[in-house]
A and B are shown apart, each in its own frame.
Chain A
Amino acid sequence: MRYETVIGLEVHVELATKSKIFCSCSAHSYGAEPNTHVCPACSGMPGMLPVVNKRVVDYGMKAGLMLNCDINRITTFDKKSYYYPDLPAAYQTTQWFAPVAVNGLVEIETSKGKKGVRIKQIHMEEDAGKLVHDIREDTTHVDFNRTSVPLIEIVSQPDLSSAEEVEAYLERLKNLLRFARVAECEMAHGTMRCDVNLSVRPEGSDKLGVRTEMKNMNSVEAIKRAIEYETARHIDALENHTEILVQETRRWDDIKGKSYAMRSKETAGDYRYFPDPNVMPVQIDDEWFESIKSSLPEFPEVKQKKYEEALGLSSYDAEQITRSIALCECFEAAYAVTGNAKDAANWMISEVMSILNARQMTYDQLTLDGRALGELIKLVSDGTVGRANGKKILAAMFDDTAISPKIYAETNGMIVSNDTGLIEKTVKAAIAEAPKAVEDYKNGKEKALMAIYGKCMKELRGNCDPQVLKTILIDMINQM
């Protein structure tokens, strides 16, 4: 018999707000000393009351709209109770009854073509802390830096059917949420985490099989391996009756490449959800809703199409730039100044993106002012500044975003001057110093000329039209 895999995902994404969801502590403590980003509220002390960070609701709405969801205009917070030492108040404030967004749709593309994945809901909630086990002392310490950092949980319908689709879906979520600047979505940083619900059924059947859940998967590769393993295990159980499948939560051991049933004690329990009486329902009026809606960027594929069709970029270039909203914004601003899309795209791809790569920055970390980049491109394309000096100016602009390329070129002697007298004097001196190269060139070694050319360009600090220099150089050698 042939089988198909049915997969639904619960994806937790850390929102990129400055502060935590119910207090003013910084939400960014990646790599910080333990318990340095805590206050009485997020460490569960009595007497503090939650005050909703409006930014979190903004970001929740943005995420919902990017994933084509309906926004609940009255959204409420609820308490989910369970005991765990990393949960200081012994409850997590989450959204159970009226989540911020429902009924979404995300389009993915795989080798089998395009497919829509339905989103059941997106709810906002607070993160828990971390337990750090000290092997030497055989004790466990609690770090509350991460408690109350805002999360959204994106719950999909069981619409996915392979590891490839899951990978495409996660990539799509990451792309869309980064595009709206609501989240980093970096599994390696823990800013995106994933629970996989999986079952197997005979192909064509409309009845779902027994479902197992694998929690807290933290790399796409691990997720893919886990899906393949679980699928095989389920099919084996159905075909060969090797075991009886039960609905359970399993832990994926990526090193052993196996999943294990968690002790029922770890998973059983009643979360006793109820509305949090300390958090009033959040009412999203038209004005708020519209301001969020209008702040959203076009979808990446819309931009890509526009770049190709309206601006004439190659599909490769358009795809490269639409990998990040920061690249898009920089490119669009530069193009607005120069009026030459291809030129601006070239600079983005061959210069800006390579500097980001060299500096090990993500594309989203780009802070370069696109208008200033446009001015630089103009200076280079109209011959005011040499290309090599242009690159130097760009590097300086990365270090200091306040730099004006024109003023920088002037104060650093980077303005091209086609003073032929100066060029001839420089060439003459260079020729005199390199008789061997001159002879080689005269004997047909074209390459020998480049050494003299390079020396002249260096002497002139790049402020010379390459064509002018080349002509003068060849003329002078030929006259010898």
Chain B
Amino acid sequence: MSFYNAKAENVSSPSVILDDMILTKDMPTTAGSRMLDSYMSLFDAEAVSKLRAAGYAIAGKAAVGEFAFDLIGESAYGGALVRDGKLVSAACEILLSGEADAAVTLDVNGSVRRASAQSGLVSLKPTYGTVSRFGTVPVACSGECVSVVAETADKCAEIFSVIVGHDAKDGTSLSASQCQAALARASAPKKVCVIEDFLQEVDADVKDKIDAACAAFEKAGATVEKISVPTLLAARAAWNILFSAELCNNVSRYDGVKYGYRAESFSGIDELYTNSRTEAFGKLLKTAIIYGSETLSTENYMKVYDKALRTRRVIAEKFAELFAEYDAVLLPAVSKMAYTEEMVAEKHDLCYVENLYTAPASVTGLPSVVCGGVALIGPALSDGKLLSYAKIVTGEEN
């Protein structure tokens, strides 16, 4: 069991650990899949180029679940990582051990946010389009973001300020001025709301975290209101449809023809495809491919996929209404403070359920900061402000 898929020698400080979805030309990028075992990219991701140029050492590549969309990393080709009976995330464990100062990861379906909530770390899933996705293994392109995890909100802000920026190589990249605006910090929020609908199925210790965050905001002079917005619960269904469809399409390129794993025995092209993919892909990925393939079929497109696209717009409008009144929305990031192997053994696609809390930010592209075990969501480009609010929750000194 190793937290590293690749580890650099003699790493100087400051150092950043990348998750294995971020392409590097000097280390393999496996995406946690047997399919890309020892795959070497011809180029660095834009975020990596920026980190290197700013003097950060790359400490290595942290293990990830297969294509990084699972619960917390349990679907990795190398096996699930377990500490004290809990499933853990490699990037967060490396940070907790002090072997790197920050982690830069691809947040596909919230696993990074869940892991940082459970490890007591701070993470930022930035506003979609503020950090270039050039050089990340594509899974759910319409929502996934290059994200930052660190022990403190200020460290997240520091790393974010390095990797943020317009990139002509990414057609969804926001303008330089928009990217710059995302860095603006703030003092305390005036008004925060907690969406009660998301508290129905969470454990008591998660509720405690929410209460603690509310108390911290109130102490800092903010008004905290508990409100019900049941529409937002539909974010999960919409996101599950969209991300599975995009995933299915994006992983189709791994067919055993050009690079990556190829089955040893096959006769003809159809068997080459089938055997290579059958042998190289894990159970959860195959499940997601089947979900995605179904949602995009001609029969289902309008009643499933198109409906999910429309739901995405409705959720975004709902958030816009909320942000007319509140500076931030407070949600749990997880339903429980620890996951076990038994839970996943019982339901291997638990990530499709537990992403109830992360899907709202994934599906809308809004920034989300996890701090003190809870999640904050703010309006587009409020990334820096959310990190400032996070310091109130964590009690981080200025």
User: Which residues of chain B are within 8 angstroms of A88 by Cβ–Cβ distance?
Assistant: 253, 258
A261 CB–B CB distance under 8 Å:
no
Q: Considering the complex, which residues of chain A in the window 42-71 have a beta carbon less than 8 Å from any beta carbon of chain B?
A: 43-52
Given contact pairs A272-B297, A274-B296, A274-B305, A49 touches B170 in the complex (Cβ within 8 A): yes
Query: Bound complex: CA of A221 vs CA of B36, how far in Å?
Result: 48
User: Which residues of chain B are within 8 angstroms of A89 by Cβ–Cβ distance?
Assistant: 252-253
**Contact status B171-A50, CB under 8 Å:** yes
Query: Bound complex: CA of A88 vs CA of B298, how far in Å?
Result: 23
User: Which residues of chain B are within 8 angstroms of A51 by Cβ–Cβ distance?
Assistant: 168-169, 171
Given contact pairs A40-B43, A272-B249, A273-B301, A49 touches B255 in the complex (Cβ within 8 A): no
Query: Bound complex: CA of A275 vs CA of B305, how far in Å?
Result: 10
User: Which residues of chain A are within 8 angstroms of B301 by Cβ–Cβ distance?
Assistant: 273-274
User: Which residues of chain A are within 8 angstroms of B309 by Cβ–Cβ distance?
Assistant: 275
Closest chain A CB from B142 CB (angstroms): 4
Given contact pairs A83-B252, A85-B269, A91-B252, A277 touches B141 in the complex (Cβ within 8 A): yes
**Contact status B249-A83, CB under 8 Å:** no
**Contact status B259-A45, CB under 8 Å:** yes
B45 CB–A CB distance under 8 Å:
yes
* Chain A 274-288 per-residue mask, 1 if CB under 8 angstroms from chain B, else 0: 110111100000000
Q: Considering the complex, which residues of chain B in the window 292-319 have a beta carbon less than 8 Å from any beta carbon of chain A?
A: 293, 296-298, 301, 305, 309
Closest chain B CB from A70 CB (angstroms): 24
Query: Bound complex: CA of A270 vs CA of B295, how far in Å?
Result: 12
Q: Chain A: which residue is nearest B277 at the CB level? A: A83
User: Which residues of chain A are within 8 angstroms of B273 by Cβ–Cβ distance?
Assistant: 83
Query: Bound complex: CA of A310 vs CA of B356, how far in Å?
Result: 74
A90 CB–B CB distance under 8 Å:
yes
Query: Bound complex: CA of A45 vs CA of B138, how far in Å?
Result: 10
**Contact status A91-B172, CB under 8 Å:** no
- Across the interface, B257 reaches (CB within 8 A) one of A142, A272, A278, namely A142
User: Which residues of chain A are within 8 angstroms of B297 by Cβ–Cβ distance?
Assistant: 270, 272
* Chain A 224-244 per-residue mask, 1 if CB under 8 angstroms from chain B, else 0: 000000000000000000000
Closest chain A CB from B258 CB (angstroms): 6
Tell me what chain B mostly uses at the interface: helix, strand, loop, or mixed. loop
Query: Bound complex: CA of A182 vs CA of B249, how far in Å?
Result: 32
* Chain B 165-179 per-residue mask, 1 if CB under 8 angstroms from chain A, else 0: 000111110000000
Q: Considering the complex, which residues of chain B in the window 254-270 have a beta carbon less than 8 Å from any beta carbon of chain A?
A: 255, 257-259, 269
Tell me which of A48, A83, A274 has the highest count of chain B C-beta atoms within 10 A of its own C-beta.
A274
User: Which residues of chain B are within 8 angstroms of A275 by Cβ–Cβ distance?
Assistant: 309
Q: Considering the complex, which residues of chain A in the window 93-148 have a beta carbon less than 8 Å from any beta carbon of chain B?
A: 142
B358 CB–A CB distance under 8 Å:
no
Interface size on A, residues (CB 8 A): 29
**Contact status A85-B257, CB under 8 Å:** yes
A378 CB–B CB distance under 8 Å:
no
Closest chain B CB from A215 CB (angstroms): 19
B361 CB–A CB distance under 8 Å:
no
- Across the interface, A274 reaches (CB within 8 A) one of B168, B249, B255, namely B249
Given contact pairs A47-B134, A47-B138, A277 touches B253 in the complex (Cβ within 8 A): no
User: Which residues of chain B are within 8 angstroms of A44 by Cβ–Cβ distance?
Assistant: 253, 258
Given contact pairs A89-B253, A90-B252, A142-B257, A274 touches B42 in the complex (Cβ within 8 A): no
**Contact status A278-B172, CB under 8 Å:** yes
Query: Bound complex: CA of A320 vs CA of B190, how far in Å?
Result: 78
Closest chain B CB from A185 CB (angstroms): 30
A81 CB–B CB distance under 8 Å:
yes
B384 CB–A CB distance under 8 Å:
no
A79 CB–B CB distance under 8 Å:
yes
**Contact status A46-B269, CB under 8 Å:** no
- Across the interface, A47 reaches (CB within 8 A) one of B136, B248, B257, namely B136
Interfacial residues, chain A to chain B (CB-CB below 8 A):
40, 43-52, 79, 81, 83, 85, 88-91, 142, 270, 272-275, 277-280
Ordered by A's residue number, 26 sampled pairs between the chains whose C-beta atoms are within 8 Å are: A40-B41, A40-B42, A44-B258, A46-B23, A46-B29, A46-B138, A47-B23, A47-B41, A47-B43, A47-B45, A47-B137, A49-B170, A49-B171, A50-B171, A79-B249, A83-B252, A83-B255, A89-B252, A272-B248, A272-B298, A273-B296, A273-B301, A274-B301, A275-B309, A277-B246, A278-B170
Q: What 7 A-B pairs have minimum CB-CB distances, sorted nearest first?
A: A90-B252, A277-B142, A272-B296, A47-B135, A277-B141, A47-B23, A89-B253
